[in-house]
Each structure stands twice: as structure tokens, then as C-alpha cells.
Amino acid sequence: MSVLRGGSVVGRVVRFVYFRIVAPLRRALWQTILSSAGGRLDHGAMLYEGTRIVQGHPGSIRIGKDLRMLRNATINTLPPSGQIVIGDGVHIGEGTMITAHSRVEIEDDAVIGPYNVIVDVDHVCEDRSRPIAKQGLDSRPIRIGRGAWISSHCVILKGVTIGRGAVLGAGTIVTHDVPDYAISVGAPARTIRIWGNDEAASPSPATAPGDDTRPSPPSAAQ
Ligand SMILES: CC(C)(COP(=O)(O)OP(=O)(O)OC[C@H]1O[C@@H](n2cnc3c(N)ncnc32)[C@H](O)[C@@H]1OP(=O)(O)O)[C@@H](O)C(=O)NCCC(=O)NCCS
């Protein structure tokens, strides 16, 4: 809404009403809806118009502090066991859709830009005598590391881990893991470079055991 950005008196009044009344009411509504069914939406969330948080079964969505969810973004869990876990300070851009049949985890401070699709499930296509829609689903968890930036119009497919601080360029289709701090582009994604300097990087709590390619410190026995 452009009036939300305007500097006129009308703009200021509209902004006041929107941010001080409408937005807190919308947040309170979603907090009530989620928590009444065992989910969680922590304080500080800013949810713009048209956002949807669809908890497909009780307790399947947990969201940390200060979520920012722009217009028409959707997060959605599918029964019987889809889970979405979102850390603190996460931004989800306009029109982005996140769907979990298994589990989608988005760690703190990740930025998911506009019109991305993050979906951890495929239809099974094996038996030609039956419609694809009746052949079941095949899902594997997705994890998006702390501080990653998923820019715009990307697709992240099942079983993928996006590393801490990793960047996906516009229109990237991700079918394999992306390392920490990699900038990856294209379809399928290829890494064009690693950004920043190693010295500034602290050990990632997000890095799974066995994923860490940095040299191990010497053991006490050496
Ligand atoms: C990924 C990105 C950040 C890289 O920026 P950069 O480091 O300045 O990269 P460069 O422009 O130097 O490009 C490096 C190479 O990658 C290619 N490339 C860059 N972005 C690409 C993309 N999205 N898809 C395919 N190739 C891409 C370039 O063509 C170039 O290839 P070349 O060396 O063969 O010419 C940027 O290109 C991008 O996609 N930004 C996303 C913008 C956006 O969607 N913003 C939404 C706001 S949340």
C-alpha cells in the first residue's frame, strides 16, 4: 500500500492505524489461532495483508520472535506430520510459499525474498495405471541456515540444506545442498563463489555433524 510510505498527514494517520492497530490485531489473531492448536508465534511478528499460516494438524508450526511476513506469503503444513520451525528475526517476502509434509526449518535471521517456493514434497510417479494424485507423496526435510539470503523466484526442493549465510541468486532452483556462505545461481544451482572472509566466521550451531569441512582443532592427546 503506497499510502503506508507517504509523508502526508493522511499517510501518517493511515500508518498509525495500520501499524498500531491493524497489525497488532492481526498478530494477536494468528497467535490465538496457532496457540489454540498447539503451535506458536512469538512476539514482535509483523504480518501483512493476505498472509496465511495454515497449520495442517495441531502443533505443527513454531515461529520465533520478530517474524516479518509480507503480503500474500503462505506457510503451510500438511498432515499427518509436516512441521515448520522458524527461528528469530526471519523475513519472508511477498508471495513466497513454504510447504512442509516432512519438516522445513528456517534458522534465525534468514531472509527469504519475494515469490520463492520452498516445498519438501514430491508426488510419487511410478505406477502408470493410477493417477499421480493417488500414488502418494515423497518428502524429505529442508533446512535453511542462519542468516541465509534466498533472493527471489527460487525453488528449494526436498532434502536440501542451505548453508549458513548462503545466497541464492534470482531464479535459482536448488536440488542439492548449498555450502555455508556460498553464492549459488542457476537451474540447477551452481556455486559461483564463497563470500566474506573465514576469520570473521564463527562456528555454526546450524552445521550438522559431519557437514563441517573446516579442519578439526588438534586433540588434547596430540
Ligand atoms: C546472486 C547475486 C546476488 C550475485 O551478484 P554478484 O555477486 O554481483 O554477481 P555477478 O553479477 O558478478 O555475477 C557473477 C556471475 O554469475 C551470474 N549470475 C549472477 N546472478 C545470477 C542469477 N540470478 N542467475 C544466473 N546467473 C547469475 C552472472 O551472469 C555472472 O556470470 P559470468 O561471470 O559468466 O558473467 C545477484 O546476481 C542476484 O541474483 N541478486 C538477487 C536480486 C533479488 O532477487 N533481489 C530480491 C530482493 S530480496
Domain housing 143: 8-201
User: Given this model, what pLDDT does residue 98 score?
Assistant: 98
Number of domains present in the structure of the chain: 1
Q: Confirm whether 21 is domain-assigned.
A: yes
CB 126 within 8 A of CB 138: no
- In the reported structure, the alpha carbon of residue 185 is separated from the centroid of ligand 1 by a whole-number distance in angstroms of 7
Instruction: Determine, yes or no, domain membership for 129.
Output: yes
Say if 218 falls within a structural domain: no
DSSP string for residues in 158-202: TT-EEPTT-EE-TT-EE-S-B-TTEEEETTTTEEEEE-S-GGGPP
Query: Low-confidence residues of the chain, pLDDT below 70?
Result: 1-6, 199-222
- Phi, psi dihedrals of residue 131, rounded to the nearest 5°: -60, 145
Position 220 scores a pLDDT of: 29
Q: How far is the CA of 169 from the centre of ligand 1 (A)?
A: 5
- Tell me which amino acid residue 151 is: S
What is residue 2's predicted lDDT score, i.e. its pLDDT? Answer: 60
Ligand 1 atom 1: the closest Cα is on which residue? Answer: 169
Peptide bond into 80 cis (omega under 30): yes
Residue minimizing CA distance to atom 43 of ligand 1: 151
- In this structure, the residues whose C-beta lies within 6 A of any atom of ligand 1 are 93, 113, 151-152, 167, 169-171, 183, 185-186, 192
Spacing, Cα 35 to ligand 1 middle (Å):
40
Counting from 1 in the atom list of ligand 1, the atom nearest the Cα of 153 is: 44
Residue 215: inside a domain, yes or no? no
77 C-alpha vs ligand 1 centroid, how far in Å? 32
Interval between CA 190 and ligand 1 midpoint (Å): 11
What pLDDT is recorded for position 35?
93
CATH number at residue 196: 2.160.10.10
- Tell me what pLDDT residue 197 has: 82
Atom of ligand 1 nearest to the CA of 152: 44
pTM attached to this predicted model = 0.87
| 149 occurs within a structural domain | yes
Determine the distance separating the centroid of ligand 1 and the alpha carbon of 48, expressed in angstroms.
28
Is 128 part of any domain?
A: yes
Residue 101 lies in a domain: yes
Helices (H), 18-168: 23-36
Whether residue 3 lies inside any domain: the answer is no
